[in-house]
């Protein structure tokens, strides 16, 4: 008996010690960051946290030269008055009002810039820190290895610097125009956010605001999670996704023994296929081999309505929980099929005045401006998808813009232009397609929300705060394609979903392994195209949804409903939640394995041990 007690005790001690060799991972308590912040006499912003102090300098272009907000002395401003957390300044051509507002984990700086002249005002705007030595830095979420770099991303519109002494500072562009125009930069020890294409109309006021996140942590994902909380984007991602179109027989896949699943497959075959992918959002679309066209005016001319309706019904018969989506794109038409001349006024123009295209003249570009015959037609398409094809979901491809970001012609968006970097004069006006189409796209999203139509957008998500608010209101989601896996940094500040990699995935094992790679970036996985076959078994995606993110990390996601991980650790939901563990082996098959439970610091932890290419989903029992 004594021997038995001794053995059991020894085993428990060994297990505890082993558990202690794995990291303990639980959601971190969100507490106010005890930073100090103030406006300096020269108008720059000073932020301190612990032993770190940062000065965020500001540059505003003049013609010629610059007006600068610095620590003590300003330059170029005719007057600067600092009063607590506010500043009022004047410079040739504009007035500036700056205010600071303090949030739980960051400081928000709002600059209101008013053009006091009678002509359009070109204004290059830069906010940056000067840190001669840093341990590492990131632009738009990507770690940069060169001394100078530039980046642009309107969702992860950030600069993060990690000083040699530790801690970190992250700058995040917040206001709509700043995010759309964003350029992040590093050069000669300067790291910052810039808008180098801003034009302010005479008498108009433009808001440029950004947030400053000081932290004692150097971890990128700690900064990501703070920004996600600030942007309030941790809402539920309800279901998994896969594309499924009504292909006729004979359309090949990468496997010579399998054609793409399609319209002639049985309900049972479709059920099995969707079960393997665990997809309840099903993305249908036009099929080239049925002579259909996905874009513009060609879409309605060629759509085989009866085939799609019948196929959608099969999908719902196979999986009653499914929502069927149909493909939509607002900016392209098909030259061979389109109605020539009808929409000429809405051509998207390049700087030389010719119409832009999708890197192929067969697919010309148009701008989706509200109240035009082009958007009238797009609305007709959307209504057709919902009312005739009976889809309750829209998959909106290239949501903010397509192959070209800018339009060089009328109408003008009122805030964008090319500015000569030497003279600071306007070279020419241009328009951001994202801004030009914003009001119409917002109108369409409100229509979808009012009609219980779900939206999934491609392109990472909304580029503006105003659009983010609509997405959040209706729990719309977006994903990013992963031809390069690091594209996932673009979704770190929105719904963290990556689409499967169409460039390298050839079989279901590749898909599973990419799910694990997505977890390396703290992201979820949606299946891509049907070139990959066959799918023979369910995998990790069965336990991925619904997910309401709490924290993203390298290798795992902590959500309200579940924890998904590709690395070992002792995981906790933060309390004493009961959960069941689902382990997947290196080939993506679920295997029976225990995740021993233990108590520590008032929390219940589950010990997850994984080998290479293995994964685990810890699912809270009440989430089922």
Partner 1 sequence: MTLRFKYTLLLAFGTLATVLAAPDVTITCEPSLPKANLVVNGNFDEGLKSWNLLPKGSDGSQFAFDKIDGCVGEKCLTITGDPDQKRGAFQRITFTPSVKPGETIFLRMLTRKAACDIDAKNPGGIALHAFCENKTARYLPVFRLTQEDHDWTFRESIIKLLETDAPISALNLYLCYYDNEGTLSFDDIQLYTGTAKATLELNEEVRKVEVLHSVHGKLLKEKITKACRKELIIPAYGSICVVMEDASGKRFYRHYPEGIDANVLASDNTIPLGTISRNFLPHDDITLKYDFNTNPLSEGKKTFLCFKSRIDNSIIGGHTHICMVKVNGTQLGDKEMVLPCREFTSSRGTLYKVTGNSGYLVFYAPACAPIDVENNYCPASLDSHDPFTFKLDITSHVKAGTNSIEFTNTCRSNPKYHPVLIIEQPRIIIE
Summarize as ranges the residues that interact with partner 1 (CB under 8 A).
138-139, 141-149, 151, 187-188, 254, 359-361, 484-487, 489, 501-506, 531
Least separation in angstroms between residue 350's CB and partner 1 is 13
Least separation in angstroms between residue 339's CB and partner 1 is 23
Between the CA of residue 275 and those of 319, 523, 542, what are the distances in Å?
A: 8, 21, 8
Q: Which is nearer to partner 1, 253 or 323 (CB)?
A: 253
Is residue 373 exposed (0-12), middle (13-18) or buried (19+ Cβ within 10 Å)? exposed
Task: Tell me if residue 84 falls in helix, strand or coil.
Answer: coil
Is residue 433 exposed (0-12), middle (13-18) or buried (19+ Cβ within 10 Å)? buried
Tokens of 216: 């004692």
Query: What's the number of CA atoms in the CB half-sphere (13 Å) around residue 100?
Result: 21
Least separation in angstroms between residue 405's CB and partner 1 is 17
Contact of 381 with 299, CB cutoff 8 Å: yes
- Residue 246's CB is within 10 A of a number of other CB atoms, namely 26
Separation of alpha carbons 483 and 487, rounded Å: 8
Q: Which is nearer to partner 1, 190 or 623 (CB)?
A: 190
Least separation in angstroms between residue 167's CB and partner 1 is 21
Q: Which is nearer to partner 1, 464 or 489 (CB)?
A: 489
According to the 3-state scheme, what is the secondary structure of 270-306?
Answer: HHHHHHHHCCCEEEECCCHHHCCCCCHHHHHHHCCHH
Least separation in angstroms between residue 361's CB and partner 1 is 6
Phi-psi region of 176 (alpha: psi -120 to 50; beta: other; left: phi over 0): alpha
Q: Which is nearer to partner 1, 145 or 320 (CB)?
A: 145
Least separation in angstroms between residue 554's CB and partner 1 is 13
Q: Which is nearer to partner 1, 133 or 188 (CB)?
A: 188
Least separation in angstroms between residue 343's CB and partner 1 is 22
Query: What's the number of CA atoms in the CB half-sphere (13 Å) around residue 418?
Result: 9
Least separation in angstroms between residue 387's CB and partner 1 is 36
Separation of alpha carbons 120 and 111, rounded Å: 18
Question: Tokens 């225990």 label which residue?
Answer: 594
* Helix, strand, coil share of the chain (percent; to 5): 25, 35, 40
Contact of 315 with 332, CB cutoff 8 Å: no
Q: Which is nearer to partner 1, 145 or 601 (CB)?
A: 145
Least separation in angstroms between residue 73's CB and partner 1 is 26
Least separation in angstroms between residue 142's CB and partner 1 is 3
Q: Which is nearer to partner 1, 156 or 209 (CB)?
A: 156
Prior bond to 272 cis, omega within 30? no
Q: Which is nearer to partner 1, 110 or 531 (CB)?
A: 531
Tokens of 619: 């699912």
Least separation in angstroms between residue 403's CB and partner 1 is 12
Q: Which is nearer to partner 1, 313 or 486 (CB)?
A: 486
Query: What's the number of CA atoms in the CB half-sphere (13 Å) around residue 269?
Result: 11
Among 363, 347, 353, smallest CA distance to 397 is for 363
- Residue 537's CB is within 10 A of a number of other CB atoms, namely 14
Contact of 103 with 230, CB cutoff 8 Å: yes
Q: Which is nearer to partner 1, 473 or 506 (CB)?
A: 506
Least separation in angstroms between residue 42's CB and partner 1 is 26
Separation of alpha carbons 132 and 191, rounded Å: 10
Question: Tokens 């992918």 label which residue?
Answer: 277
Least separation in angstroms between residue 257's CB and partner 1 is 16
**b/e per residue, 108-117, with b = 16+ CB within 10 A?**
bbbbbbbbee
Q: Which is nearer to partner 1, 532 or 579 (CB)?
A: 532
Tokens of 623: 């989430």
Give phi and psi for 472, each to the nearest 5: -65, -40
Q: Which is nearer to partner 1, 369 or 493 (CB)?
A: 493
Between the CA of residue 366 and those of 8, 296, 349, 397, 403, what are the distances in Å?
A: 73, 9, 8, 14, 11
Q: Which helix (H) or strand (E) holds 438?
A: helix 438-450
Q: Which is nearer to partner 1, 145 or 353 (CB)?
A: 145
Q: Looking at 281-384, list the stretches that DSSP marks H as alpha helix, in order from N- to C-terminal side.
A: 296-302, 305-318, 373-383
Least separation in angstroms between residue 458's CB and partner 1 is 19
Q: Which is nearer to partner 1, 144 or 453 (CB)?
A: 144
Task: Tell me if residue 178 falls in helix, strand or coil.
Answer: helix
Task: Determine how β-strand 281-284 pairs with β-strand 323-328.
Answer: parallel
Least separation in angstroms between residue 192's CB and partner 1 is 16
Q: Which is nearer to partner 1, 306 or 352 (CB)?
A: 352
């Amino acid at each position: 008996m004594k021997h038995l007690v001794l053995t059991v005790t020894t085993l428990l001690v060994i297990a505890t010690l082993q558990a202690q060799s794995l990291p303990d991972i639980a959601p971190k308590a969100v507490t106010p960051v005890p930073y100090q912040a103030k406006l300096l006499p020269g108008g720059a912003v000073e932020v301190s946290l612990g032993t770190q102090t940062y000065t965020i300098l500001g540059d505003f272009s003049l013609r010629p030269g610059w007006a600068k907000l610095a620590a003590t002395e300003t330059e170029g401003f005719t007057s600067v008055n600092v009063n607590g957390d506010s500043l009022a300044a004047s410079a040739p051509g504009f007035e500036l009002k700056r205010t600071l507002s303090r949030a739980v984990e960051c400081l928000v700086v709002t600059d209101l810039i008013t053009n006091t002249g009678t002509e359009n005002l070109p204004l290059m705007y830069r906010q940056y820190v000067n840190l001669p030595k840093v341990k590492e830095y990131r632009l738009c979420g990507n770690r940069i290895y060169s001394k100078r770099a530039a980046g642009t991303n309107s969702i992860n519109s950030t600069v993060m610097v990690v000083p040699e002494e530790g801690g970190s500072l992250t700058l995040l562009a917040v206001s709509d125009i700043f995010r759309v125009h964003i350029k992040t930069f590093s050069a000669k020890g300067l790291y910052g956010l810039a808008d180098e294409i801003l034009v302010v109309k005479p008498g108009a006021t433009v808001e440029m605001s950004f947030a400053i996140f000081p932290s004692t942590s150097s971890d990128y994902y700690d900064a990501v999670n703070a920004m996600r909380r600030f942007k309030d984007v941790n809402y539920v991602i309800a279901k998994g996704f896969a594309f499924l179109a009504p292909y006729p027989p004979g359309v090949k896949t990468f496997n010579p023994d399998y054609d793409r699943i399609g319209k002639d497959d049985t309900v049972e075959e479709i059920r099995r296929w969707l079960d393997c992918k665990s997809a309840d959002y099903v993305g249908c679309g036009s099929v080239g081999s049925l002579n259909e066209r996905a874009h513009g005016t060609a879409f309605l001319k060629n759509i085989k309505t009866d085939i799609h309706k019948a196929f959608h019904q099969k999908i719902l018969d196979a999986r009653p929980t499914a929502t069927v989506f149909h493909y939509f794109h607002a900016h392209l038409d098909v030259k061979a099929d389109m109605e020539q001349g009808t929409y000429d006024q809405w051509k998207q123009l390049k700087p030389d005045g010719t119409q832009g295209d999708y890197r192929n003249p067969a697919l010309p570009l148009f701008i989706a401006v509200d109240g035009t015959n082009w958007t009238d037609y797009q609305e007709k398409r959307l209504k057709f998808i919902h009312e005739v094809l009976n889809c309750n979901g829209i998959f909106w491809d290239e949501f903010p813009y397509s192959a070209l970001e800018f339009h060089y012609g009328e109408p003008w968006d009122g805030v964008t232009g090319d500015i000569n970097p030497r003279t600071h004069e306007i070279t020419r006006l241009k328009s951001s397609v994202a801004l030009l189409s914003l009001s119409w796209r917002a109108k369409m999203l409100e229509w979808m929300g009012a009609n219980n139509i779900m939206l999934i957008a491609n392109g990472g998500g909304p580029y503006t705060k105003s659009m983010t608010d609509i997405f959040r209101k209706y729990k719309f989601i977006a994903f990013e394609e992963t031809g390069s896996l690091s594209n996932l940094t673009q979704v770190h500040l929105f719904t963290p979903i990556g689409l499967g990699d169409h460039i390298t995935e050839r079989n279901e094992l590749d898909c599973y392994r990419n799910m694990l790679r997505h977890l390396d970036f703290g992201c979820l996985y949606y299946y891509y195209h049907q070139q990959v076959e066959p799918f023979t078994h369910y995998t990790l995606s069965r336990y991925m949804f619904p997910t309401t993110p709490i924290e993203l990390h390298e290798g795992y996601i902590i959500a309200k409903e579940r924890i998904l991980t590709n690395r070992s650790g002792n995981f906790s939901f933060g309390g004493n939640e009961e959960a069941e563990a689902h382990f997947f082996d290196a080939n993506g098959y679920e295997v029976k394995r225990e995740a021993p439970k233990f108590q520590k610091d008032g929390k219940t932890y589950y010990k997850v041990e994984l080998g290479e290419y293995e994964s685990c989903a810890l699912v809270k029992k009440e989430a089922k």
